[in-house]
Amino acid sequence: MNPLLKDFNTAPFSKIKTEHYITAIQKGIEMAKLEIAKIVQNPDAPSFENTTVALDFTGEKLNRITSIFFNLNAAETNDEIQKIAQEISPWLSEFRNDITLNEALFKRVKAVFDSKETLDLTAEQSMLLEKQYKGFTRNGANLKDDDKNKLREIDAKLSKLSLKFGENVLAETNAFELHITDEKELSGLPESIKEAAAEVAKSKEKEGYIFTLDYPSYIPFLTYADNRELRKKMAIAGGKKAFQDNEFNNEKIVLEIVKLRHERANLLGYKTHAHFVLEERMAENPEKVIEFSNNLLKKAKPAAQREFKNLENYAKKLDAIDQLQKWDSAYYSEKLKKEIFDLDQEILKPYFKLENVIAGVFEIANRLYDLKFEEVTTIDKYHEDVKTYHVTDSEDNFISVFYADFHPRKGKRNGAWMTSYKSQQVKNNIDERPHVSIVCNFTKPTATKPSLLTFNEVTTLFHEFGHALHGMLAKTTYNSLSGTSVSWDFVELPSQVLENWCYEKEALELFAKHYETGEIIPMKYVEKIKESASFHEGMQTLRQLSFGLLDMSWHSQDPSKVTSIKEFETKAFAETKLYPDVLENCMSSSFSHIFQGGYSAGYYSYKWAEVLDADAFEYFLEKGIFNKEVASKFKEHVLSKGGTEKPMELYKRFRGQEPKPDALLKRAGLI
């Protein structure tokens, strides 16, 4: 019997064979279609219960199966899985279209929607009904038959293209290695980084050291390697992923994706893809996003230019560098930061042993939200690196299953993300609790050292854990409104707000302990971490804004005339450019957030959420970072509510007012 088709609670990873997926997904689609048919054929008049609620609960089996499959395609993939992904993606987009373009079903949904004034619904029920109705109209329910078919074709193409995009980026990441046999060329690199590179070489049965484009290898190399030529080689390799003359080139794919998205938006009656996307976001429209970005740009650019000039002078004085290049950025920034604040990332690392940081984030979650995490070995997992936890509250009520997967490996894409294997919902009066996972790429332990994190990795762990809390603490009735199912420019608030605890003495003392001596991180380091937090914030802000503006350029205008992605990108970056352009590099060809993840016309939301998170954390600072009253309000109005109400309403209920950008500008040292 196919384990995916049996009833299971936690995902039965060890029992799943690759060949199980296709039949399970086919069967899952069949089951979901029967559930839809039952709603459509119901002889009773359409009601909130027999149509709206029934529809929200359809496809549960299919959702569980596909969440397992696509999560593994990101965290533990191989050629077979990638092949299956290419095969099933069009089926799934076809099935989604079968629902949204089903006239009889839409008729019932519309009948309930049209009678909503007479129904006496709660805020959550109203939101479900509205979201469902818009799900149909925004996906073509009102289109003529010819246009519906056109929409199906576009969606099938898009799902295959974004998968192919991601596969190409992963292939290019895996294809490059910088193999060094002469230890003299590693000057400047910390011992721990050299040791990790030696282990990679050993695993590939080679002498010396191997550096790759995986972040724990790539970032430290650019930050510390004294050899400028090798930094250049590494940076150019990172920047030309999927922009080379080979089978993994993404240029045509990018152009095809943006043109299809534009065509799809037009078909549905929207001016551009960004207009379509933003209608359902806090920002509402591209004009508002561009205005928001340009306002921040105005404040950040003078600071960024000052910082850049400063860095140029420093590099010139230190090494007679005439022209600062992109591969000099992290290297000289780190040196200058060390000089100004006398703060070396490598001195900090011994205080951030991975296990201690995990214990720390758990303790913070306990103090704020009364959560307890118990590591268990009875939960099935997909790789031995994965840790599994049973999460309860102070009264021992079961809250969530939590998976954590921390280290890079061949079948895992770069970066860090939170995901879920099962959403929270209330079904048959039972509160079904969620199964949540975070996936990161932190330095592996070596023969002589445990996994020691950079401070940047510590904030990444807190960030993803903030998303996880949003998933774990969900307390809604309907799964489509649960946890992180909120508008995209609100979803980063819980993750970004939690990063703030990494800078606070009271929080750091809980977990920042030297892995050999147990000594708590000295206060002078904490002060320096805090002081240096806004170091080069102007340049950082400019960088984030440049990505958001590139995304908006691709999606808020008609891309049909674009022939060169490089030229288009250069124009989009004009206002935010500091470093000379590198001819053989291109950002768009590997910009996975917008061409593979769900961030198209949404990358601005990181900055948008920063305004929210700085404003929210200001409230904690006023009352105390472990203040129970503020934490309870945040849990009640933000973390547990999911997408049951409009985000601004939830935020105002927590904060008592709309967010102001002042806290962010102050924190960033821009005012």
Tell me phi and psi for residue 427, to 5 degrees: -130, 135
Q: How confident is the model at residue 190 (pLDDT cuts 50, 70, 90)?
A: very high
Q: Which candidate in 177, 251, 457, 464 is catalytic?
A: 464
Q: What is the tens place of the pLDDT at every residue in 291-305?
A: 999 999 999 999 999
Q: Give the length of the chain.
A: 671
Residue 619 has pLDDT above 80, yes or no: yes
Decide: helix, strand or coil at residue 484.
coil
Residue 49 has pLDDT above 80, yes or no: yes
**What one-letter code names the amino acid at 380?**
D
Give catalytic status of residue 280 as yes or no: no
Tokens of 46: 């359409």
Tokens of 528: 């320096």
Tokens of 23: 């039949």
Q: What is the tens place of the pLDDT at every residue in 445-504?
A: 988 999 999 999 999 999 999 999 999 999 999 999 999 999 988 999 999 999 999 999
Q: How big is the chain by its Cα radius of gyration, in Å? A: 25
Tell me what the mean pLDDT of segment 318-347 comes to: 93
Task: Share the mean pLDDT of the chain.
Answer: 95
Percent helix, strand and coil across the chain, each to the nearest 5: 60, 5, 35
The pLDDT value recorded for residue 670 is 82
Which has the closest alpha carbon to 409: 372, 384, 379?
A: 384
Q: What DSSP character marks residue 46?
A: P
Q: What is the tens place of the pLDDT at every residue in 103-157?
A: 999 999 999 999 999 999 999 999 999 999 999 999 899 999 999 999 999 999 9
The pLDDT value recorded for residue 44 is 97
Alpha helix stretches (DSSP H) within 204-285: 215-224, 228-239, 251-267, 273-278
* Contact partners, residue 568, CB within 8 Å, separation at least 6: 553, 554, 559, 562, 588
Q: How confident is the model at residue 662 (pLDDT cuts 50, 70, 90)?
A: confident
Q: What is the tens place of the pLDDT at every residue in 634-643?
A: 999 999 999 9
Q: What is the tens place of the pLDDT at every residue in 145-173?
A: 999 999 999 999 999 999 999 999 999 99
The pLDDT value recorded for residue 527 is 87
The pLDDT value recorded for residue 212 is 97
Tell me what the mean pLDDT of segment 17-21 comes to: 96
The pLDDT value recorded for residue 344 is 83
Strand partners, 389: 375, 402
- Furthest-apart CA atoms within the chain: distance in Å: 82
Decide: helix, strand or coil at residue 564.
coil
Which has the closest alpha carbon to 83: 19, 17, 4, 5?
A: 19
Residue 652, number of CB atoms within 10 A of its CB: 14
All structural domains of the chain: 3-142 (1.20.1050.40), 176-239 (no CATH), 350-491 (3.40.390.10)
The pLDDT value recorded for residue 669 is 83
> CA 595, CA 601: separation in Å to the nearest integer?
10
Kindly state the helix (H) or strand (E) to which residue 305 belongs, with its residue range. Answer: helix 286-319
* Residue 520 burial (10 A CB sphere; 0-12, 13-18, 19+): middle
Question: Nearest 5 degrees, angle CA 241-CA 245-CA 250?
Answer: 50
Strands lying side by side in the sheet with 435-439: 371-375, 387-393, 398-405, 435-439, 417-422
> How many C-alpha atoms does 211 have within 13 Å on its Cβ side?
27
Residue 346 has pLDDT above 90, yes or no: no
Which has the closest alpha carbon to 20: 30, 33, 7, 6?
A: 6
Q: What is the tens place of the pLDDT at every residue in 501-525?
A: 999 999 999 999 999 999 999 988 9
Does the global pTM surpass 0.85?
yes
The pLDDT value recorded for residue 483 is 97
Which has the closest alpha carbon to 520: 653, 326, 645, 348?
A: 348
Q: What DSSP character marks residue 531?
A: H
Tell me what the mean pLDDT of segment 244-251 comes to: 98
Kindly state the helix (H) or strand (E) to which residue 539 belongs, with its residue range. Answer: helix 537-555
Residue 671 has pLDDT above 80, yes or no: no
Residue 360 has pLDDT above 90, yes or no: yes
